[in-house]
A and B are shown apart, each in its own frame.
Chain A
Amino acid sequence: MTVDFDDLTVEDVSRTFGRRRALSHISFRAARGAIVGLLGPNGAGKSTMIAVLATLLRPTGGSVRYGAHEAGPHGPALRSAIGVLGHDLFLYPELTARENLAFFAGMYSALDRHAAADAALQQAGLADRGDDPVASFSRGMRQRVALERALIHKPRLVLLDEPFTGLDDASAAALLARLRALRDAGAIVVLATHDLELAEGLLDQAVFLRDGRMVHAATRPEGLRATYRSLVGADFSRPGR
C-alpha cells in the first residue's frame, strides 16, 4: 500500500537521546512543490530532523503528519513515498552503479527494476559508466548515483542531508537544477545544509536551527547569510566542499 499526501506538518517535535535534547519544539509546514531548507551549523539538529521525517527516528514529543497520516501505523506505506539522500551515500561500493540502482528499485517494488535502473543512469548522465563499480567513481559521480537511488521510486517527499558536500561547481549546479525540477513536479523537498551560498534563491521556506531549537522561520527567504549572521552571530563559509 502506498500513502500519498499533499503536505507535511511538523508540530512541536522534540527528540532526546538520553539526557541530550537534539530537537526541541520544532514546528513547520510544507506543501507540495516547495523546497524547505533546514539551516544551521553543525550540531543544530538538522540530521536528526531529517531522520525523524524519514521515519527512522520517532519523536519523543510532538508529531509529524504526512497529509492526514502519522508515521507510527503507516510507517512502511509512508516510506514508499519518501526518498532520502543522506550525508553517507547509501551505496555498495563493490556493486556497479546499475546493480546498486536495480537493487534499490527492487527494494521499492519497482515493476521492472532493471528498466528503472537504466532510466536512473540516464538521468544521472552515467549510462556509459553503469557497469563500473561505484568504488571507482569520483565523489561527484557517486553523489549523482546516490541522488538517483533516492529518487528511483518517484517519492512525494525528498529529504536531503548536506547534498552539496564534496561537489564541484558543475555538479552542484546540476543538483540545484534537479531539485528545482523536483519542486516543479510537485514533490516536497526538505534540504538540510549549512551551505547558504547554494541555498540562496533556491528555498521557498527556511527554518533556522541552533542547538536543536528553531530560532527563525521565513517564507521566500532572501539574504540568508545576513539573516543567519543576525540570528546565530557567525558567518558561513562553504565548509566541506
Chain B
Amino acid sequence: MFARIVWLVLRKDLTVEVRSLEIAYTTLFFAVSCVLVFAFALVQEGRAPEDGAAGILWISIAFAGTLALGRAFERERQSETLRALLLAPSPRPAIYVGKLLGILVLLLAAEVVLLPLVALLFQTNLLAHPFWLAAILLTGTLGFASVGTLFAAMLVRARSRDVLLPVLLYPITVPVIIAGVRATALLAQPEFEVALVRFWTALLVTFDVVFVTLALWTFEPLMTD
C-alpha cells in the first residue's frame, strides 16, 4: 500500500512536469545563471579560487532547489489538489515520500547539467571519482530536499510562503551544504583522501536518516488542520 501510493504520487508529479517543464526550465535557468555569475566574478585570468567550484555547485543546488520546492507545492495549491491528496485514505507519509522523490529526481537532473558546466568554468576535475561524486550529490540533495519538502508542504497555505521557505530551510540545512561542499572539494584535490571523503559522506547519510525520519514522523500531524 505504502509503496503503491509513493509510486502513484511520484509518477503523477513527473508526468505533470514532463507536460509543463515549468520547474525544469526555471530551476535550470536559475542554477546556470548562478554558476555563470560566480564564474565571471571569481575566475580571474583563467584561474579559479581553490575549492570554489564545490561551493558554487552547492549554492546553485540550494538556490535552485528552493525554487523547485516552492513551485512544486504552488502547483498543488492552485487547484487545492494537496487537499484532495490529504482527503484520500492513503498513509500521508507515503504522499510525503512521493513528493520528496519527485523533487529529488528534478534536482538530480539539474545537477547532471550543472556538474560539467561548473567543472569547465572553474577548471576543476570534479568528475575524477564518479562513484563518490554520485554518492555525495545523492545524499546531500536528499538531505536538502527532505527538509525542504516538509517545510514547503507546511507553508503551502501561508501568505508569505516564498519568503518563509528559505528563511526556515537554510539554517537547518546549513550542515548538509557544508558537508556537501567539503566532500565535493576533496574529490578535486590532487591527492584523493578517501578516509575524509568517507567521513563527510557518512555525515551526509546521518543527516539524511535524521531528517527523513523526523519528516515522516511529523508530516501527518503537521498536515492535519
Contact = CB atoms under 8 A, between A and B. Distances in A.
Nearest to B88: A107
- Which of B4, B79, B89, B90 has the most CB atoms of chain A within a 10 A radius of its CB? B89
Contacts of A77: 89
Contacts of B8: 103, 106-107
Contacts of B50: none
Given A57-B225, A95-B15, A95-B16, A90 B90 contact: no
B83 A86 contact: yes
Contacts of B91: 76
Given A95-B16, A103-B12, A106-B8, A86 B80 contact: yes
A76 B88 CA distance: 7
A92 B83 contact: no
Given A91-B79, A92-B16, A95-B12, A109 B1 contact: yes
A89 B88 contact: no
A54 interface: yes
A179 B8 CA distance: 30
Range, interface on chain A: 20 to 34
Contacts of B4: 106
A55 B225 CA distance: 9
Interface in A77-111: 77-80, 82, 84, 86, 88-95, 99, 103-104, 106-109
A58 interface: yes
A94 B20 contact: yes
A90 B225 contact: no
A108 to B, nearest CB: 6
Given A57-B225, A94-B19, A88 B89 contact: no
Range, interface on chain B: 20 to 34
Contacts of B85: 107
A233 B225 CA distance: 33
A173 interface: no
A232 interface: no
A56 interface: yes
B158 to A, nearest CB: 14
A88 B90 contact: no
B218 interface: no
B163 to A, nearest CB: 21
B87 interface: yes
B84 interface: yes
Contact of B84 (A57, A80, A104, A106): A104
B79 A88 contact: yes
Contacts of A76: 89-91
B86 interface: yes
A54 B79 contact: no
A108 B90 CA distance: 7
Contact of A90 (B12, B16, B83, B224): B83
Interface in B1-51: 1, 4-5, 8, 12, 15-16, 19-20
A99 B87 contact: no
Given A92-B12, A94-B19, A95-B15, A107 B81 contact: no
Contacts of A93: 79
A51 to B, nearest CB: 9
A54 B87 CA distance: 7
25 contacts: A54-B87, A55-B87, A56-B83, A56-B225, A58-B225, A76-B90, A80-B89, A84-B84, A88-B79, A89-B79, A90-B81, A90-B83, A90-B84, A91-B81, A92-B16, A93-B79, A94-B16, A103-B8, A103-B12, A106-B5, A106-B8, A109-B1, A109-B89, A109-B90, A149-B84
